[in-house]
Amino acid sequence: MPIVRVALDIPLSTLFDYTVGEGVTVGQRVIVPFGKRQMVGVVMECVTTTDVAPERIKPVTQVLHDSAPLSAGLLDLLRFCSDYYRYPIGQTVLSALPTRLRSEKPVISKPVLSFRLSASGAALDLESLPKRKVVQRRILARLAEGACNLAQLKALSATVGVQLKVLVAEGWVESFTGAKNVNVFVRPEFIEGHMEASTGSALTDGFVSKHTFDNAHTLTSEQQLAVDAVTQTSGYACFLLHGITGSGKTEVYVHLMHEALKKNGQVLLLVPEINLTPQLENYFRSRFPDVNLVSLHSGLSENERLHNWQQAQLGAAQIVLGTRLSVFAELPALALIIADEEHDASFKQQDGLRYSARDVAIFRASQAKVPIVLGSATPSLESYCNAQNGRYRMLKLTGRAQAAARLPVVRSININQTVMHHGISENLLREIALRIARREQSLLFINRRGYAPVLMCTGCGWLSGCKHCAGKMVLHLNEQRLRCHHCGYQLRVPKHCPSCGNGDLLPVGSGTQRVESVLQERFPDARILRVDRDSTRNKRTWQIMREQIYANEVDILVGTQMLAKGHDFPALTLVGALNPDSALYSSDFRAAEKLFAQLMQVAGRAGRADKPGEVIIQTAFPDHPLFLALQAHDFEGWAASQLAERKMAGFPPFVYQAMLRAEGRNETEVYAFLDQARAQAVALQHDVEVFGVVPAALPRRANHLRAQLLIQAATRKALQQFLRAWQPALDVLPATKLRCSLDIDPLEF
């Protein structure tokens, strides 16, 4: 009987052989026996011989025909990731699939409902609806342009679901399955023999090459040069689009997408964070109103994610917009990849398969022979260095896209030489008052949630440390809780010091909640909005907040890095950066790079329209080169100095690194494992530098002791050769009570 080699979601770096009685193709999902369980796997190879004894080979339980097989290109990409990131092949392959495709239950594709105006809805005069019915008016206006599915309508408002039911009940809107009047294209050869997709009969029409493109925006000369450079390239090329904040990088993306769609190609647009996805989705839908755009991110339900993934796999989705996992979406007609905010650390997965979506996207573009564009106002030093040495092609946007918009004025305030009010300077408070009087918006940026970073006893000096971690518990005053942001442990705020019984407990430092309360006290009539992970926990809350900001129903924004990038708030003219100095003391060699990027990104929110913007940085070191470079908007100078330092010190991008981490409840076992691993590494005598075993930056988290071992090499090839030789030795080391991981190109130290 034929033999198939199957990838299974287990932590072993091998494929498993099974016999199969029916025809099966590579990439197909199967159910197989594994021990006493039945597991879903993916067929990676079909072979005629095996080294396994015949009596040990079990038959495949079931071949699943409920979804198209994975393509050879995607399987090659996953093999590369498994090899490069030293992660088991089965776990690599299965983790790339939507959750529903990892289940042994057959996938039953539910038809996706679309909505359109009924005859009475089409005849309805919108002005006859009360003005307070804002969302209903938006829905009706959108449907007047053409049919939409629920995901498209949800971009209009957080309450679309409720209001849509009202409109259906009134008889003004009707639902239907399929989307025959929505322009999609599909390669018929990807449909044949597989499931019927939800776009109905449109699938059999083959390619539909025409699409409506809202080309109301005239490109600047620099934008046009960037578009021409990419579109005139045949095959693979990697471009770094280095554009200052507000320079119109998104407009370049739109025109590049248009060119790819004209050739019946699919576009993959990667964004670092889920909170940027809805606004971008809404924007691209408005520019390409009849193009089938789908999103892929963790905010979708399992059914939504499966449907969107299969739309991409069948070629029906022309634009795929998603966070890092979408780099593994099936795209048979892939023509262009864009990675927006390419410098962002969110592109790096920090558990399981520790891949960088940006780096995987570059490999995928090379594999598919298509161009990739990396966009950022503050490129990572790795990408910038690659552009400087010619591996990538540099494209620059040096001016703001709107003729009236100017870069904000950046100035530093010395906190040691001014009056401070609970972390906010008198100078900054005066500037906020001026903005309120002019009906302009201000943003105060502080990258710390909660009321205060720590609670302290004025008597004995006790600090609110976490009993499970080496970190401190953060005071959340609204909930009267102390909460650890590392392990989640929390308790009620004590009335007396647990150490000496003193009742005078003082919050030390500032978080977003404390800044908010100080502003409420100073500006009692101001409309203040706090945006952080605590205030946006409920689904769609952030969308409601964003609508308030755009409608200028907010005077002062207080937020973390959620507000630092990608947003375009026309009325925002003042940005204040509170307490950025802590990054200057960090042991992480990337801390200064991250701080510069963060501050330049948040500064870029100010003055994006016709009103001039101003940025005030509160610091104890106003003459620090980092702050001077920010004032001069001099990324090139700052990057050059950082790269010179890195080269001298022997840090990336001039070397390549891998980090072996271990954690467990017993400190002796953790260090014994890493010491043995280090001895094995040294014994291999490869051309790599093996450092000593050291505690992690947070040496204890959730009652687990944590340590790490760093390996460094002068070339990527040398590091990979060493890792392939070292891996077998690591696999046999005793580590049953430990959690271990190997991180290639680590970002966290």
Q: How much is the pLDDT for 650? A: 94
| Number of residues assigned to the chain | 749
Domain locations in the chain as residue ranges: 3-102, 113-177, 210-397, 409-452+509-645, 656-744
Phi–psi pair at 155, nearest 5 degrees: -65, -15
Cα–Cα dist 456/475, whole Å: 10
Q: For residue range 646-663, what is the model confidence (pLDDT) as tens digits?
A: 999 999 999 999 999 999
Instruction: Assess contact for 463 and 454: CB atoms under 8 A.
Output: yes
According to DSSP, residue 188 is labeled G
| pLDDT of the residue at 741 | 94
Q: Which helix (H) or strand (E) holds 706?
A: strand 704-713
Structural tokens at position 676: 């043995």
The domain 3-102 is placed in CATH, from the list 1.10.10.10, 3.40.1440.60, 3.90.550.10, 3.40.630.40, at 3.40.1440.60
Tokens (6 digits) for 369 = 């022979």
Q: Which residues of the chain have pLDDT under 70?
A: 109-112, 151, 155, 158, 178-212, 214, 216, 403-405, 450, 538-540, 564-567, 608-609
C-alpha angle 100/273/134, rounded to 5°?
90
Q: Which CATH class is domain 409-452+509-645?
A: alpha beta
Both tokens assigned to 20: 């199969």
Q: Spell 609-622 as b/e; 16+ CB within 10 A means b.
A: bebebbbbbbbeeb
Token pair, residue 450, equals 């909660």
Bridge pairing between strands 490-492 and 481-483: antiparallel
What local confidence, expressed as pLDDT, does residue 216 receive?
Answer: 64
Task: Name the CATH topology of 656-744.
Answer: Alpha-Beta Plaits (3.30.70)
Q: Identify the three-state secondary structure at position 686.
A: coil
pLDDT for 544-566, tens place per residue?
Answer: 888 888 888 999 999 887 776 66
CATH code of domain 210-397 = 3.40.50.300
Sequence-ordered list of residues with C-beta below 8 angstroms from that of 484, at least 6 positions apart, any chain: 466, 468, 469, 471, 472, 473, 474, 490
What predicted TM-score, i.e. pTM, was given to this entire model?
0.86
In this chain, the answer to whether the domains covering 409-452+509-645 and 656-744 adopt an identical fold is no
First to last CA, the chain: 51
